[in-house]
Copies of this chain bind each other. A is one copy, B any other.
Amino acid sequence: MASQPFHGVLVPVLTPFTPSGEPDAGRFAAFCRWLLDQGAGGLSVFGTTSEANSMSGPERMALLDVLVEKGIPPEKLMPGVGACSVSEPASLARHAVDHGCGGVLMLPPFYYKGVSDDGIFAFISRVIDKVASPALRVYLYHIPPVAQVGFSLDLVGRLIEAYPATIVGLKDSSGDWSNTAALLDRFPGFAVFPGSEVFLLDALRKGGAGCITASGNVNVPGINKLYQNWQGPQADALQAEITTLRKALQDYPMVPALKRIVAHFRDDPDWAAVRPPLEPLSPAQSAALLADLAKLGFTLGEQPRSKAA
């Protein structure tokens, strides 16, 4: 098993867009810096929460170029490289490796449904062979509620066996704790990250590496407090606290809700913009969300409230 570059609270970073709908690289880099300053263990930019699949490959690569130029440490970056054809994830992963990124997060091909493990194995295998770099570290991205296609336990085992130095971990966004637990039991040393902090303590107690969670965009400090103290006496209470916040968020469409929160607490309305097919929250949803958060005493702590951030 290869060495593990990532631990702790990883954030699939929201992608800000300009009023004309273009990715806003400056705001993006500033937000990434802020997340790391708050204690994020890594940034899985270009995940589902990042609206990565609403951006072209060249758009994602241009954003990554800016992050590195602006001094975000590449070893802290785990860019998502998901796409449906072999050549696209291969190009994106090669670009990430060339920048020295700590790893990449790789979806299975998600257009065709009902495909076999053999077919997905062949796909991932061709991507890895095309990148052809010993520096490549792949984290499999299992998110069947969205991608519909996923990585079975057997397939994960076959991939680890075939590429032990490359296939080093998995983000489990199945929402199914029994799947996460089975991965942790079956593949010791393999870095398993549940896709929600709701399962963080349970995962850590079974050897999990941390979590990669959408709500990290607005709550790195809270989640990281549990990560840092999971063996302490307050662990269950800390878990309960972050679970409460997560569940409040889950009453709203996640990406627009997170962007609305950032827009509100940064006093920067442009942050709320999403790309179609996603839609911003309605004014009524926004008001309800902010009221729910106020009831929980939530604030987006220790961060700049000015547009110049």
Q: Which residues of B contact A19 (CB under 8 A)?
A: none
Contact (Cβ within 8 A) A278 B87: no
* Chain B residue at minimal CB-CB distance from A91: B56
Complex CA gap A282/B132 in Å reads 29
Contact of A109 among B86, B115, B148, B277 (CB under 8 A): B277
In the assembled complex, 17 residue pairs joining A and B whose CB atoms fall closer than 8 Å, in A order, are A21-B86, A21-B126, A48-B111, A54-B112, A56-B87, A59-B85, A59-B87, A86-B276, A110-B110, A111-B146, A112-B277, A115-B277, A116-B279, A119-B276, A119-B279, A120-B276, A120-B277
A122 within 8 A of B: yes
A283 within 8 A of B: no
- What is the 8 Å Cβ interface bit string for chain A, positions 113-129, against chain B (1 contact, 0 not)? 10110111011011000
Contact of A277 among B48, B53, B87, B108 (CB under 8 A): B108
A275 within 8 A of B: yes
A55 within 8 A of B: yes
Known A-B contacts A21-B126, A123-B277, A126-B21; A145 and B85 likewise in contact (beta carbons under 8 Å): no
Q: Which of A85, A120, A147, A148 has the most CB of B within 10 A?
A: A85
Q: Which residues of B contact A123 (CB under 8 A)?
A: 276-277
A84 within 8 A of B: yes
* Chain B residue at minimal CB-CB distance from A146: B113
Contact (Cβ within 8 A) A54 B84: yes
Q: Which residues of B contact A149 (CB under 8 A)?
A: 277
Known A-B contacts A84-B53, A85-B59; A278 and B119 likewise in contact (beta carbons under 8 Å): yes
- What is the 8 Å Cβ interface bit string for chain A, positions 21-59, against chain B (1 contact, 0 not)? 100000000000000000000000000100001111001
Q: Which residues of B contact A55 (CB under 8 A)?
A: 85, 87
Q: Which residues of B contact A125 (CB under 8 A)?
A: 276
Contact (Cβ within 8 A) A146 B112: yes
Contact (Cβ within 8 A) B110 A111: yes
**Minimum C-beta distance from A284 to chain B (A):** 15
Complex CA gap A109/B53 in Å reads 9
Q: Which residues of B contact A56 (CB under 8 A)?
A: 85, 87-88
